């Protein structure tokens, strides 16, 4: 028991026992990789000595490149496995260390960009879930950044502000854990009158918002006060999402607005920053920096939570868990942020598209936490405001004192002076000739602003912590079509390459600043380079198999066992980490399948798009991932059926690779079984083709067997079949030269 002078513990950690196995296996596997590269060198030397054709030399060099890149990516991945740890928090002790009235204020940032891809009701549910935290409501300020500049979103939040007066006390009085209204009503069918009344209010709000969405504008009939009329007058005829003045609307003011029980409501502020086609807006990073400035003017809380619009709170005690680290100043003097994992609801049993991102959001952060800390992943992250103003030992002063993290706001948030300053710092030209985006705030220079910002902050000397409680702190939505999954991944690849080819490359700049952890960031930044070995293995072994050319050791050759060990060892370790991470074999299988699919699609096309940008060739640009769920698509997803449905160049190459593997596998079997070909020499190539065929079964089904709207478009099937057969013919001609 703690004495009067002793503070009870708030958190603890322990290193995972698997790190010993990881290190031992890494040593063995490194030896095997060294032997593989040695074998490649011997093979290439032998080919050159025997004066074989240019084709043989090219094949040998190409396979060397593929295996070298696979080895490089494996090597960087080991940094996650060297020192993984797990943490526990004891929130029950928090109020024994700090009184509730002394809890720090909390600013919450929620970003949205398109009301038709990110429905306002989804954003509203996210906001209500965090407004209902088990935390002093007068210490919470929720800021909604609407980069789409939509009056529909503002209307939805006006409705939410009224509903919140009933919802927040309902949650408190009934000690509800699921404080996202939509999630709560979906999982509770109680006949309790109070619950039914609050549900009717929610449904009424929902009908009004959906009605406005259908009309595409807020008609006068939906405005109930002159204040609301005044707010919507800013949407003039010349108002567009690319060109408009700033819109700041204080929907709830904590010191004035009360819930139905007379308790203070949190501050709720809607913000759409000024935009001009003549000024760069820097996408989400720009929106977050505007939120940093506007929130500094209004509330300037020392703690900031950033949330994706579809990532709602699933645990009202989450801020308490955060404070278990933040109030522990002695152990964490340079602590900059606490990252929670992104967990997703609505995943089907098999996680068809690997949307859980088990490694990115749950496994790898454990390894990074044992070094300097996990990366920022864009949502579910609590920051100290001070972190955005230089390193722990090198404070960068903002251009006006009101934006400094230690500035104390003294005026009401609706005062004319405060609103005037807020609109000023939300201006599209405010950042000109300033440190915003470089030394202050979220960093500019990459489409993956979360990865890039977290990386730069850790390089500056800050530390971070990964907090993964048993009950997920947040739950989010997932894309349920393959095109959306690949498009999202392609966008990430473009942003990652922007970091690779900048002066902040993790292998040059990062290694000096953070040592081993730089390899973790390097592994992520080189994701697009997976496209090279995966694409090579998707075509070259198959085309040589069709022409009865062996490019791997025979089964009777001792070198064969090296290849077998490398393949089996990597896959078994990968699978074990999934299972130990409380996942399933089926989900692991789909995760590795999606890795293969992304190779010749999003990884490759992301690389092409980045190179096109460098050359000044027009590219599709940034697209918001749709959170709207079509009923038929939802049914197919629940059944684990792949959703194609649209024409995409990425699908063409994917279908070509799958078709060639099928042709090669069937052709190889025919050669061995009917013509008594050399199985000993061609076994590895036949195995690779068969492995791709096994992973491609959903693709063949979509190309040849399905008739629903989610099948592979006929145009893609025809084009890919033509290209595949053409490549087989051309490949046969080339290898026989």
Check pLDDT > 70 for residue 288: yes
Check pLDDT > 70 for residue 271: yes
Q: What is the DSSP letter of 261?
A: T
The answer to whether 107 is a known catalytic residue is: no
Check pLDDT > 70 for residue 490: yes
Contact predicate 288/111, CB 8 Å:
yes
Check pLDDT > 50 for residue 4: no
CA distance 246 to 271: 7
Which pLDDT score, from 0 to 100, does residue 333 have?
84
Question: Quick one: average pLDDT of 440-466?
Answer: 96
Which structure tokens are listed for 275? Answer: 């935009």
The overall average pLDDT reported for the chain is 93
DSSP per residue, 407-421: PPP-S-TTSHHHHHH
Question: Quick one: average pLDDT of 540-546?
Answer: 95
- Which carries the bigger pLDDT value, residue 303 or residue 188? 303
Residue 264 — pLDDT band, cuts 50, 70, 90?
very high
Residue 331 — pLDDT band, cuts 50, 70, 90?
confident
CA distance 471 to 314: 8
118 is in an annotated binding site: yes
Residue 165 — pLDDT band, cuts 50, 70, 90?
very high
CA distance 73 to 80: 12
pLDDT in tens, 81-126: 999 999 999 999 999 999 999 999 999 999 999 998 899 999 999 9
- 231-245, 397-411, 599-613, 687-701: the lowest-pLDDT one: 231-245
Check pLDDT > 70 for residue 627: no
CA distance 731 to 222: 66
Give which of 653, 665, 669 is closest to 692, Cα–Cα: 665
Check pLDDT > 90 for residue 536: yes
Which pLDDT score, from 0 to 100, does residue 628 have?
62
Which pLDDT score, from 0 to 100, does residue 385 have?
97
The answer to whether 259 is a known catalytic residue is: no
609 is in an annotated binding site: no
Question: Quick one: average pLDDT of 601-625?
Answer: 83
CA distance 30 to 510: 23
For the chain, how big is the Rg over CA atoms in Å? 28
369 is in an annotated binding site: no
Check pLDDT > 70 for residue 624: no
Question: What percentage of the chain reaches a pLDDT higher than 90?
Answer: 83
Question: Quick one: average pLDDT of 536-564?
Answer: 95
Question: Quick one: average pLDDT of 707-730?
Answer: 94
Check pLDDT > 70 for residue 51: no
Which pLDDT score, from 0 to 100, does residue 671 have?
85
Residue 330 — pLDDT band, cuts 50, 70, 90?
low
CA distance 645 to 625: 16
CA distance 729 to 615: 33
Q: What is the DSSP letter of 281?
A: -
Question: Quick one: average pLDDT of 688-703?
Answer: 97
pLDDT in tens, 651-685: 999 999 999 999 999 999 988 888 776 889 999 99
Question: What percentage of the chain reaches a pLDDT higher than 70?
Answer: 97
Which pLDDT score, from 0 to 100, does residue 2 have?
43
CA distance 347 to 587: 10
Which pLDDT score, from 0 to 100, does residue 155 have?
94
Which structure tokens are listed for 352? Answer: 């068809």
Catalytic residue among 450, 477, 484, 591: 450
Question: Quick one: average pLDDT of 296-315?
Answer: 96
pLDDT in tens, 6-23: 788 999 999 999 999 999
7 is in an annotated binding site: no
CA distance 18 to 11: 22
Residue 229 — pLDDT band, cuts 50, 70, 90?
confident
Residues 6+ apart with CB under 8 A from 198: 166, 167, 170
Check pLDDT > 60 for residue 346: yes
Domain ranges across the chain: 31-82+518-591+626-735
Which pLDDT score, from 0 to 100, does residue 159 have?
94
Which pLDDT score, from 0 to 100, does residue 446 have?
95
Which pLDDT score, from 0 to 100, does residue 735 have?
72
User: What three-state secondary structure class fits 277?
Assistant: coil
Terminal-residue alpha carbon distance, the chain: 82
Question: Quick one: average pLDDT of 350-367?
Answer: 96
Model-wide pTM > 0.85: yes
284 is in an annotated binding site: yes
Which structure tokens are listed for 505? Answer: 């490359």
CA distance 245 to 258: 31
Question: Quick one: average pLDDT of 167-183?
Answer: 95
pLDDT in tens, 395-442: 999 999 999 999 999 899 999 999 999 999 999 999 999 999 999 999
Catalytic residue among 67, 146, 147, 351: 147
């Amino acid at each position: 028991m703690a004495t009067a002078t002793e503070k009870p513990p708030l958190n603890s950690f322990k290193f995972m026992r698997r790190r010993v196995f990881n290190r031992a296996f890494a040593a063995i596997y490194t030896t095997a990789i060294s032997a593989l590269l040695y074998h490649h060198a011997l093979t290439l030397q032998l080919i050159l000595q025997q004066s074989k054709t240019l084709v043989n030399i090219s094949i040998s060099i190409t396979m060397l490149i593929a295996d070298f890149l696979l080895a490089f990516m494996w090597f960087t991945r080991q940094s996650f496995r060297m020192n993984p740890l797990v943490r526990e928090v004891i929130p029950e002790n928090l109020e024994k260390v700090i009184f509730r009235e002394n809890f720090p204020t909390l600013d919450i940032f929620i970003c949205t960009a398109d009301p038709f891809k990110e429905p306002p009701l989804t954003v509203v549910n996210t906001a209500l879930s965090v407004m209902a935290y088990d935390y002093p409501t007068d210490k919470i300020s929720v800021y909604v950044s609407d980069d789409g500049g939509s009056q529909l979103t503002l209307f939805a939040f006006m409705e939410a502000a009224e509903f919140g007066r009933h919802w927040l006390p309902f949650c408190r009085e009934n000690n509800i854990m699921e404080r996202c209204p939509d999630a709560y009503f979906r999982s509770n069918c109680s006949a309790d009158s109070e619950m039914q009344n609050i549900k009717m209010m929610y449904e009424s709000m929902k009908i009004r918002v959906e009605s406005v969405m259908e009309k595409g504008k807020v008609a006068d009939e939906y405005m109930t006060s002159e204040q609301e009329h005044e707010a919507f007058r800013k949407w003039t005829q010349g108002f567009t999402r690319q060109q408009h003045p700033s819109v700041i609307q204080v929907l709830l003011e904590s010191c004035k607005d009360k819930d139905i029980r007379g308790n203070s409501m949190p501050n709720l502020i809607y913000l759409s920053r000024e935009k001009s086609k003549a000024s760069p807006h820097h996408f989400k990073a720009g929106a977050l920096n505007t939120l940093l400035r506007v929130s500094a003017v209004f509330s300037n809380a020392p703690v900031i939570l950033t949330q994706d619009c579809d990532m709602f709170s699933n645990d009202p005690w989450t801020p308490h868990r955060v404070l278990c680290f933040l109030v522990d100043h002695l152990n964490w003097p340079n602590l900059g942020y606490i990252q929670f994992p992104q967990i997703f609801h609505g995943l089907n049993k098999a996680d068809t598209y690997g949307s859980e991102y088990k490694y990115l959001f749950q496994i790898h952060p454990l390894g990074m936490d044992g070094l300097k800390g996990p990366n920022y992943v864009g949502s579910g992250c609590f920051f100290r405001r001070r972190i955005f103003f230089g390193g722990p030992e090198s404070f960068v002063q903002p251009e006006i004192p009101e934006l400094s993290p230690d500035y104390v706001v003294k005026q009401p948030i609706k005062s004319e002076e405060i609103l005037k300053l807020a609109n000023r710092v939300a201006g599209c030209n405010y950042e000109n000739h300033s440190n915003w985006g470089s030394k202050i705030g979220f960093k500019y220079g990459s489409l993956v602003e979360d990865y890039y910002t977290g990386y730069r902050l850790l390089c500056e000397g800050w530390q971070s912590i990964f907090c993964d409680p048993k009950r997920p702190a947040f739950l989010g939505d997932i894309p349920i079509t393959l095109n959306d999954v690949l498009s999202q991944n392609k966008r990430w690849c473009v942003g990652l390459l922007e970091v690779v080819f900048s002066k902040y490359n993790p292998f040059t700049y990062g290694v000096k600043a953070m040592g081993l952890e730089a390899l973790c960031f390097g592994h992520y930044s080189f994701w697009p380079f997976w496209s090279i070995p995966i694409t090579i293995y998707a075509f070259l072994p198959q085309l040589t198999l069709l022409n009865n050319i062996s490019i791997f050791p025979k089964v009777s050759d001792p070198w064969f066992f090296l290849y077998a060990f490398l393949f089996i060892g990597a896959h078994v370790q990968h699978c074990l980490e999934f299972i130990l991470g409380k996942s399933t074999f089926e989900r692991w299988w789909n995760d590795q399948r999606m890795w293969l699919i992304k190779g010749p699609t999003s990884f490759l096309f992301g690389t092409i798009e980045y190179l096109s940008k460098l050359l000044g060739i027009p590219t599709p640009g940034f697209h918001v991932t749709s959170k709207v769920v079509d009923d038929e698509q939802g049914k197919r997803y629940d059944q684990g059926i792949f959703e194609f449905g649209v024409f995409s160049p990425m699908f063409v190459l994917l279908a070509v690779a799958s078709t060639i593997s099928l042709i090669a596998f069937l052709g190889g079997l025919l050669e061995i079984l009917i013509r008594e070909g050399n199985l000993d020499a061609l076994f590895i190539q036949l195995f690779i083709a068969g492995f791709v065929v096994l992973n491609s079964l959903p693709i063949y089904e979509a190309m040849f067997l399905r008739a629903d709207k989610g099948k592979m478009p006929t145009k893609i099937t025809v084009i890919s079949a033509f290209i595949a057969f053409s490549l087989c013919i051309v490949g046969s001609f080339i290898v026989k030269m």
